[in-house]
């Protein structure tokens, strides 16, 4: 269960959501797409096209390697850091994992027709099915759970039953869960009427995922949830928790230190199943940027602070020190500097 905290305008979280579904199409997995805002058919039509050309990936890796070598040659590194291993900002072709996708092109209909997919569009379910009275959970969440459970049992993804056909994996994608479109008020009120509805849904969903051959990604507008207790419960009920922070409309958008990036990636939780300890990532400073064709997540490398304000301040300090030394107060100035240090 991958829990994704949406960015402010849900721009980059939707890209991550589509990447998850596109990877399932390329791998031949079955899909289950649920949404209360956008029709699942339209979501699948907007999936990025895969880059299956190895030459393109090789050229991309060669360009990245050449740029990094030129950058290292142009810099003079202190002797104590010369023997340290070089850190790569993004994985190259030698550490390939998954597939690459071109955001400027859409996935072909022939490739979508090669896999089996199921959809859950809440407005259609509410209009076609009778009203459900449930005291323990939101009716929209109950319908969604019933639909997921039905697909798992009917399509042979239940791990407890003997498999009668070739095994496959079900990828479940749920968009904008917890918003008002799902009939939940956790994003609009500090003290919602049914604050346990979302946590109950995740608890039951996690049980379905544990005993089935399925994986799920959920996007939630976490920046609108004011109740911190709800977010703590949701985090505990998820396996992987990732947050996206966009620079759009913030001070970092115009900050020259972040000019190469479009946002930050916060890894709040990494799963380690059947263990009493949690996994710790080697780095937590991650950032993402949206290129013309690719959406990449890299390690955050900030340039040295060589701004005009810093240089002017250092020049003023040097001028004041020289002035004190020339006026015959060198000993006092040196003593003062030692005390400041």
Mean pLDDT value across residues 90-106: 73
Is residue 226 packed enough to be buried (19+ CB in 10 Å), middle (13-18) or exposed (0-12)?
middle
Task: Give the closest residue to 141 by CA, choosing from 202, 54, 192, 94.
Answer: 202
CB of 56 within 8 A of CB of 49? no
The predicted-structure confidence for 152-200, as pLDDT tens digits, reads as follows 998 889 877 666 677 899 999 999 999 999 999 888 888 888 788 999 9
Confidence band of 319 (pLDDT split at 50, 70, 90): low
pLDDT of 337: 40
- Of the listed ranges 111-115, 256-260, 264-268, 312-316, the least confidently predicted one is 312-316
Check residue 141 and give its pLDDT.
94
Distance, CA of 289 to CA of 258 (rounded, Å): 10
Least confident of 146-150, 182-186, 189-193, 252-256: 189-193
Residue 236 pLDDT > 50: yes
Residue 313: per-residue pLDDT: 46
Angle at which helix 308-326 crosses helix 330-340, to 10 degrees, equals 140
Percent of residues, the chain, with pLDDT higher than 70 = 70
Average pLDDT over residues 130-144: 78
Going by the DSSP 8-state scheme, the letter that residue 79 receives in this structure is G
Would you identify the CATH topology of the domain 2-63+98-299?
A: Rossmann fold (3.40.50)
Half-sphere exposure (CA, 13 Å, Cβ side) for 299? 11
Exposed e or buried b per residue across 7-31, where buried means at least 16 C-beta atoms within 10 angstroms of its C-beta? bbebebbbbbbbbbbbbbbbeebbb
Gap between the Cα atoms of 143 and 127, Å rounded: 12
- Please give the Cα distance from 214 to 212 (Å, whole number): 6
The pLDDT score that the predictor gives to residue 300 is 85
The two three-digit tokens of residue 290, written as one number = 């949206």
* pLDDT of 121 over the 70 cut: yes
Q: Stretch 208-237: mean pLDDT, rounded?
A: 92
């Amino acid at each position: 269960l991958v829990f994704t905290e949406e960015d402010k305008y849900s721009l980059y979280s939707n890209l991550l959501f589509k990447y998850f579904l596109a990877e399932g199409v390329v791998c031949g997995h079955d899909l289950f797409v649920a949404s209360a805002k956008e029709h699942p058919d339209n979501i699948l039509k907007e999936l990025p096209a895969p880059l299956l050309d190895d030459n393109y990936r090789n050229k991309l890796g060669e360009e990245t390697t050449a740029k990094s070598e030129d950058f290292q040659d142009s810099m003079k590194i202190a002797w104590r850091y010369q023997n340290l291993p070089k850190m790569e900002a993004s994985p190259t072709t030698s550490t390939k994992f998954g597939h690459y996708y071109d955001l400027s092109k859409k996935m072909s209909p022939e490739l979508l027709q090669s896999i089996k997919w199921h959809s859950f569009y809440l407005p259609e379910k509410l209009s076609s099915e009778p009203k459900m009275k449930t005291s323990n959970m939101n009716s929209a969440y109950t319908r969604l759970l019933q639909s997921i459970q039905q697909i798992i049992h009917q399509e042979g993804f239940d791990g407890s039953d003997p498999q009668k056909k070739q095994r496959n994996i079900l990828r479940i994608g749920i968009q904008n869960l917890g918003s008002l479109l799902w009939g939940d008020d956790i994003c609009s009120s500090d003290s919602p009427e049914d604050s346990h509805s979302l946590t109950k849904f995740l608890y039951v969903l996690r049980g379905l995922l544990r005993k089935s051959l399925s994986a799920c990604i959920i996007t939630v507008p976490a920046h609108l949830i004011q109740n911190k207790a709800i977010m703590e419960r949701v985090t505990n009920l998820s396996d992987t928790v990732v947050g996206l922070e966009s620079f759009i409309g913030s001070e970092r958008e115009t900050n020259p230190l972040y000019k190469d990036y479009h946002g930050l990636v916060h890894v709040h939780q990494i799963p380690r199943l059947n263990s009493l300890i949690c996994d710790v990532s080697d780095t937590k400073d991650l950032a993402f940027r949206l290129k013309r064709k690719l959406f990449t997540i890299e390690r955050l490398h900030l340039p040295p602070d060589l701004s005009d304000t810093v240089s002017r301040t250092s020049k003023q300090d040097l001028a004041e020190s020289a002035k004190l030394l020339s006026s015959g107060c060198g000993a006092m100035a040196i003593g003062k500097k030692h005390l400041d240090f």
